[in-house]
Structure 1
């Protein structure tokens, strides 16, 4: 992931997983996760929004 907003999330294999702690709607209602994939030629970035 290339986004600092990812906070309690990480990429493991081909999945986005929650890494630690509970998600608190009152503290943060959404997380924007920017995921960048690259190979020898191309690069692409997609943004995923997790709503709590």
Structure 2
């Protein structure tokens, strides 16, 4: 079974973060840190 994965983009500056998600990933209130703009944002991925 092949799972596609993608980089999570920062919601503030739209650059790549250090995390990848797969099609079956679920995150709720996840603190995402962006190394470029140095901001932390809570995200949800379903």
Task: Identify the structure with the greater helix proportion.
Answer: 1
Alignment TM-score, normalising by the size of structure 1: 0.35
Larger radius of gyration: 1
Task: Identify the structure with the greater strand proportion.
Answer: 2
Alignment TM-score, normalising by the size of structure 2: 0.37
